[in-house]
Structure 1
Amino acid sequence: MSDKDPAVILDSAKAWWSTAIIDMKPGSIRFAGFPVEQLIGAVSFPQMIWLMVRGTMPTPQEGALLEAALVSAVDHGPQAPSIAISRMSVTCGLPLNGAMASAINVLDDVHGGAGEQCMELYADIARRMDEGHALDAAIEAGLDAFIAARGKIISGFGHRFHPVDPRAPRLLALVDEARKQGVVNGRFADIGRGVEASLADRKGRGIPMNIDGATAVIYAELGFAPPLGRGLFILSRSVGILAHAWEQTQQGGRIKGPMPRDIPYTYTGPAPRDYPGTASGEATP
């Protein structure tokens, strides 16, 4: 038994968790000080995301730009591993929450992390500019450092399916418009376009910015830290994951793997052989 004063124990318990996100008491729910009943019907879901992770209320224009980025990345078809996993999970008997959790768990460095990595590249280039380097020099040095640390694939540029990712130009156009309106300063749009131009010079061919590079521009312009870039992508892609899991629920199907069973996989092991001391078709004693 503890010999501490009960009041001290209670104070210690209250201090166990500390949060500036929500103040919830009987009959009262406040987010960063705002009563929830005043937010309902007054702010958009992207604005609410901003408030929850940043503690401040964005302007409607900032919320609209964040919303555009979130809308752009909701889905990329059932060939995307996270989407395929959500559908396969449903056919294995998982409910929607299990299917969504299984799919979200693969959104890591390779599939899902490119936006965060691209934001880190942009931030490094911006830091070099703050140290007095010109934009072009900062881009070249930033790219060299990124390649030395991560390899030749530059996150946020190039695409396996699209010669030009149709989402990226639209997002950059929205950034340009927001820049004219004074919503963002356009610094990271300049950095992103500069990286794209540098890669074209280095490779001798165009390697256009993709969805990850374009949303990285928006998230960086809006002041989000790079790790939040991945979190925001996961929020966005969760919409597609949910939609596909629900559609598969309606379609039915049982234990569907990644490809139809009449399409064989490739076996690369040893040729058929017998275990020593036995003959094919005979039982082992």
Structure 2
Amino acid sequence: MGNPSSQGQNDTLTVRDNRTGKVYTIPISDNAIPATAFKDIRAPAKKGEREENETEKGLRVADKGFLNTAVISSEITYIDGEAGILRYRGYPIEQLAVHSSFLETAYLLIYGALPSRKQYNIFETEVMQHSMTHADAEVLFRAFRYDAHPMSILTSAFASLGSMYAEANPSLQGQNLYTKGDAASIAAMDKQIYRLIGKATTLAAMAYRIRQGRDFVVPPAGLSYTGSFLYQMDHLGEEDYVPSPVLEKALDVLFLLHADHELNASCTTVLQTASSLVDPYSAISAGCASLYGPLHGGANEAVIRMLISIGSPDNVPAFVEQVKKREKVLSGFGHRVYKTSDPRSFIVRKTADEVFKVTGKDELLETAMRLHDVAMSDEYFIKRKLAPNVDFCGLIYRAMGFPLDFFPVLFAVPRVVGWLAHWRQMMLQPGGVKIWRPRQIYVGPTKRDYIPIDSRVPVEGLKRTPTVVQHSGQSKRTMLASYKGKAKL
């Protein structure tokens, strides 16, 4: 691999290094080439070249933002962004949304096949029986401020679970706890999967109720996964309380659509973290933190805030012009992967119709549809392939009565399944787990000698000087006071 060769072969890539004249043959497997093969392509350093370039140690592959770098072989999710295709384990998302359920699809993603009735019953029973949380979780939740963002709470709650289950921690039980592939290893892995999926809705409901100033609700028996979730959020003591079946079904469909999406930012974060063989609760917490960002899971919240800022449908044309002038940010259109319409968006539209029949149409729907029509007929957006994406499901969440800052939580809960599917796959992959350690291209200063502080020339500039905070209140008074050890500015 990567050895000099005079001629290419089938299923290989021939590379000529014009610096040395050498020709290299690199194998192509599954339409991919190994990045490590380029380490064999070495050349003498040019006169005066920076030693940090490490030219004599082989080529590095620069790929800012992982635009075209495959870091793992996976059997889980296939996406064709050009054709607008999304498949879980080979099954089109459109078929699963109509015929399957969230928990059945979760089984499919994790174990690789649709379950028999017996297999599904075992899985569903274990997930639902593991929805209870330790009493100490209540203490954690009540420690947060009343106005804390629910995603911050959920991220911390997932991390806290790692401190409750010593048998789930490879640091305590041995680093091959999940990687041996024997019956005991897989059983330990499955138990954590049951716990995380089961407790995801419970923790999310607790994050919701702490914001509402309500007591927590014990997960009920006999309800579906999403029915239990709605019950835990909304039950206030009513006798024989049963959530709306329409909302329950809609949430189940949306959970199914959001269950996995290949190596997006949060899934990559989970695998990056898990590659150190940390416990799965810490890895899921890291993924939750990644999902929190407005370029990822926070996008559907951003869509609604954008629509609120637009207001009336009559204001859409002016807003679109501001977007084209880069004066405003357009949310809900375009996707890192999909260059045509997101296949999930059509299912979201159908689900929205069902929800609106019982809740009434969201007042922002007309604004959203006008924005869709204007953007889809404008050459600016057509040329850039900015089609509507799934983040418009925020309209459904809003119609169902969820607060804006809870939208990312409704994304995180189902995505736990996808994260766990990829985590399980990586733990059991042939050859074991290697810690993810990407390279960098160092462009900073070359070697320089230390200068004593009194001999230095200050380096000025906005990005080179720490910002001075404008203090007020007690902090300001303390800065004006005198005391032993006070720093001199």
Distance 1:122 1:69, change over 3 A: farther
Greater RCO, CA 8 A, separation 6+: 1
Amino acid at match of 1:21: D
Unaligned runs of 5+ in 2: 1-141, 144-209, 237-241, 451-489
| C-alpha displacement of 1:124 | 4.2
Q: Distance in 1 between matches of 2:413 and 2:422?
A: 15
Correspondence list, 1:76-225, <5 A: 76-78=261-263, 80-107=264-291, 108-125=293-310, 128-129=311-312, 136-140=313-317, 152-162=328-338, 163-179=340-356, 182-187=357-362, 188-201=364-377, 204-206=380-382, 207-213=386-392, 215-225=393-403
Q: Provide, for residues 200-254 of structure 1, a one-character-per-residue CA deviation record: whole Å limited to 9, x for no partner.
A: 35554343211112x2121122121111111111212222112212221222312
Which residue, 194, 215, 218 being the options, matches 1:21? 215
Correspondence list, 1:257-268, <5 A: 257-258=437-438, 265-268=440-443
TM value normalised by structure 1: 0.67
Give the count of matched residue pairs: 227
| C-alpha displacement of 1:118 | 0.9
Q: Distance in 2 between matches of 1:143 and 1:48?
A: 41
| C-alpha displacement of 1:20 | 2.3
| C-alpha displacement of 1:154 | 1.5
Q: Provide, for residues 82-136 of structure 1, a one-character-per-residue CA deviation record: whole Å limited to 9, x for no partner.
A: 11121122221201111111221122222221011112223445xx45xxxxxx2
Asked if the contact 1:91/1:255 (under 8 Å) is kept, the reply is yes
Q: Provide, for residues 42-88 of structure 1, a one-character-per-residue CA deviation record: whole Å limited to 9, x for no partner.
A: x222233233334475301111112211221122112x121112112
- Specify the SS of the correspondent of 2:302: helix
| C-alpha displacement of 1:166 | 0.6
Which residue, 211, 216, 226 being the options, matches 2:404? 226
Asked if the contact 1:21/1:55 (under 8 Å) is kept, the reply is no
Aligned residue number for residue 221 of structure 2: 40
Q: Distance in 1 between matches of 2:344 and 2:289?
A: 25
Asked if the contact 2:381/2:387 (under 8 Å) is kept, the reply is no
Unaligned runs of 5+ in 1: 1-15, 23-30, 130-135, 259-263, 277-285
Aligned residue number for residue 256 of structure 1: 436
Aligned residue number for residue 419 of structure 2: 241
Aligned residue number for residue 52 of structure 1: 232
Asked if the contact 2:271/2:423 (under 8 Å) is kept, the reply is yes
Q: CA RMSD in A?
A: 3.2
As a proportion of its length, which structure holds more helix?
1
Distance 1:81 1:205, change over 3 A: closer
Q: Distance in 2 between matches of 1:166 and 1:227?
A: 25
TM value normalised by structure 2: 0.41
Distance 1:48 1:142, change over 3 A: farther
